[in-house]
Chains A and B, each alone.
Chain A
Amino acid sequence: MRILREILRRPSAVFGLSIVLLVVIAALGAPLLAPFAPDEQMFDGLTLDGAPIPPDATFWLGTDTLGRDLLSRLLYGARTSLIIGLVANGTAVLIGLTVGMLAGYLRGPVGNALMRFTDLMMAFPALLLAIVLAALLRPSLWIVALVIAMVNWVQVARIVYTETRGLVERDFILAERSLGAGHLRIVALHIAPHLVPTAIVWGTLGIATTVLLEATLSFLGIGVQPPEPSWGNIIFESQSYFTAAPWLVFFPGIAILLTALSFNLVGDALRDILDPTQRGRM
């Protein structure tokens, strides 16, 4: 409750939160809100030449290059973005927490090996790695989520590692240890709780990165598979029309931007609130 109250005191966070809510409503309510089925290729959705139709009374945001209603596709696209955002980022945060915590707590050869592996992952250009993985695994919604998780966990792991190392050296843990407490007990009772703020902050901020990466992969044609609508693949499919039918790029583009922005704003506010030492910093 305190967190929510704090958030409501910040205009930018309120803005972010309301957009997040809008996206959630669009995603959950898509079947009710969408005027058409998202994958219905309508006969009157294309001109006789096969060009998409600009926004009008029937198709509020116009149609795409297959004669489908863009508004309906955008609404269902919100689902794709949110599912991938939550699943991929959730997985990434989980992996990152586990690896970072283990490496920070265990140190020794195991911890070292884990951190070397993290360093190795850091040396990969993220997008290239994601592209190669996507090609290797044949894309579907869940595979895309998995690929993004495999690329994005690294940052979380590094942060958690640093924090865990700081915690391990603190007196109360040293005391616990000398009293012969088991590893599991120390980790569960004394380390994990301290990492909750980090998990919450990254669980939010990371969604923005994830949404962007999904959109980029789909834009390159190797993300979410058609006809499943994703804001990225809507732009991919419409690229060749972008000067003649700019709405096909602008609307989904703005949707991606606003969604990423809102999660960033909320995440930033959460960081301020949960981690006062970082207040005012990036």
Chain B
Amino acid sequence: MAELLLRRIGGAILILFGVAAVTFVLLYWLPADPAVQLAGRSATAQTVANIRRELGLDQPLPIQFLTYLGNLIQGDLGRSYTQKTEVETLILARLPATLILMACGILVEVVLGLVFGIIAALNRGGFVDRAVMTMSFVGVSAPQFVVALFFLYIFAATLGWFPMSGFGTVNHVILPATTLGVLGAGWYARMVRSAMIDVLAQDYVRTARAKGLSETRVIFRHALPNALLPIIAMIGIDIGQFMSGVVVVEAVYGWPGIGQLAWQAIQQVDIPIIMGVTLTSALAIVTGNLVADLVAPLVDPRIRAR
């Protein structure tokens, strides 16, 4: 087990290295010159050349990448071109906000998924089941920016129940977290439903029922715990979805997280920040997948056997 884990971690590090390389090359080819943009309109050619040299942008691609990699190994993500601050400082300052948003988003997702999944499973084949399953696709099919704008219009601008944007109180997090969570809730509901149906059909559940255990007890003692493991695996896999989601959700709600940072940086071609956020996201995704892989054998005995 420990050896397997080590191998997986090694693989993950290799993948991160690959992500760094691919992103670096893509950004290098970007048809924009950060030095020209930074120097602004009044700069002389000399000023632009000076800035380019100071940023190391006059070096050939392999040298630039090796320099970056060398710094990266020492935990140095470089300095933002526009904000002139260490990228790790910027990311660390904004990471808590994103983590709060993601945690709340996952909470919304899991709670909605569990509630609707259980309801559907208990009414298997009935009208409620079909309605819930159809509805679950609505969540999956709704673009997050549209949901965000709908929510803002209805719950903030018209009804005034929540603030339109900002950060700090519980009220601020509800709309963004719900927007983020609705997408996955549909998947979770479907997954919980099928897991529940599988479990409910198992012999031990039937035995428990036959022993006269109440239905609620059967569900919460036997069925639910078994349905939870796949959810954990799913959350791990979902990190990637979330990392994309926060860019849009943070942009629309003005949430001060790394998604907003990434979007600003992309518009300003602030390459060190784009690199930093991409690597942070990739790290989160790889970790999430790792967790999912580790949980998977517990979920599915067939995998364990291998």
Contacts and interface: CB of A to CB of B under 8 A. Distances in A.
A contacts B directly (C-beta below 8 A): yes
Interface of A: 11-12, 15, 116, 119-120, 122-128, 131-133, 135-136, 138, 208, 212, 215-216, 219-220, 232, 235, 239, 242-243, 246, 249-250, 253, 256-258, 260-261, 264-265, 268, 280-282
Given A136-B31, A219-B145, A280-B194, A123 B244 contact: no
Interface stretch (B13-21, B101-109, B207-215, B220-228): B13-21
Contacts, number: 141
Give the top 10 A-B pairs by smallest Cβ distance, nearest first: A127-B244, A260-B141, A253-B146, A125-B243, A261-B141, A282-B190, A125-B281, A120-B18, A123-B282, A281-B194
Contacts of A235: 145-146, 149
B240 A125 contact: yes
Given A261-B138, A264-B140, A125 B285 contact: yes
B231 interface: no
A15 B133 CA distance: 14
Contacts of A132: 23, 26-27, 30, 266, 274, 278
B137 A126 contact: no
Q: What size tier do the contact residues of chain B reach?
A: 35 or more
Given A123-B19, A132-B27, A136-B29, A257 B146 contact: yes
Contacts of A253: 143, 146, 149-150
Interface of B: 11, 14-16, 18-19, 22-23, 26-27, 29-32, 130, 133-134, 137-138, 140-146, 149-150, 152-153, 157, 187, 190-191, 194, 197, 240, 243-245, 247-248, 251, 262-263, 266, 274, 277-278, 281-282, 285-286, 289
Per DSSP, chain A at the interface is: helix
A163 to B, nearest CB: 16
B262 A128 contact: yes
Nearest to A263: B141
Nearest to B12: A123
Contacts of A12: 130, 133-134, 137
A78 B29 CA distance: 33
Given A124-B278, A136-B29, A257-B142, A268 B19 contact: no
